[in-house]
């Protein structure tokens, strides 16, 4: 069963997929858009990747506040999840993503990626962390 992990941000979406056994997540790419509300090309790319990797489920990072409340970013993520469900016809699971960007930054720093270069990779790595956490704990 192939699962896709997404880290939805204001202007980027990090994408990860798992291996066919459903055990190992791998960051795939970062989809970039010019404006927050311009989602057409982003959704088209997610659909292409879902078809290419024969995705059956999408795990979408859910940015709850540290006190477990739902803020504006989480509300936007809920809206994006609804759009994904309609566009792809796939189940979309919201998965707590607190501190994944911090963890992704630490991983990239440990790999020796310069601070200026990390921004290009951080969303892809965060998507991989979100998906791996789901695979390990769901």
Please provide the DSSP assignment of 78-94 as one string.
Answer: HHHHHHHHHHH-S-EEE
Strand partners, 57: 3
Query: Residue 72 corresponds to which tokens in the numbers above?
Result: 């504006």
Q: Domain containing 87: what range?
A: 2-137
With contact defined as beta carbons under 8 Å apart, do 6 and 127 qualify? yes
User: What is the model's pTM?
Assistant: 0.88
Could you read off the pLDDT tens digit of each residue along the chain, which spans 138 residues? 899 999 998 888 999 999 999 999 999 999 998 776 688 999 999 999 999 999 999 999 999 878 888 888 889 999 999 999 999 999 999 998 877 776 777 777 787 777 777 777 878 888 998 999 999 998
118-132 as b/e: b if 16+ CB within 10 A: beebbbbbbbbbbbb
Q: What six digits make up the tokens of 88?
A: 């792809």
Cα–Cα distance measured from residue 133 to residue 87, given in angstroms and rounded to the nearest whole number: 25
Total domains present in the chain: 1
The CATH code of the domain that includes 34 is 3.30.420.140
In contact, 90 and 51? CB cutoff 8 Å: no
């Amino acid at each position: 069963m192939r699962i896709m992990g997404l880290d939805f941000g204001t202007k980027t979406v990090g994408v990860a997929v798992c291996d066919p056994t459903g055990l190992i997540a791998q960051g795939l790419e970062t989809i970039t858009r010019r404006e927050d509300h311009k989602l057409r090309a982003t959704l088209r790319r997610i659909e292409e990747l879902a078809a290419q990797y024969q995705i059956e489920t999408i795990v979408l990072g859910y940015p709850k506040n540290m006190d477990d409340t739902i803020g504006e970013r989480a509300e936007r993520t809920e809206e994006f999840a609804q759009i994904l469900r309609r566009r792809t016809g796939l189940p979309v699971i919201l998965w707590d993503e607190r501190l994944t960007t911090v963890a992704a930054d630490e991983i990239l720093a440990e790999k020796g990626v310069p601070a200026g270069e990390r921004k290009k990779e951080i969303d892809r790595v965060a998507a991989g962390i979100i998906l791996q956490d789901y695979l390990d704990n769901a």
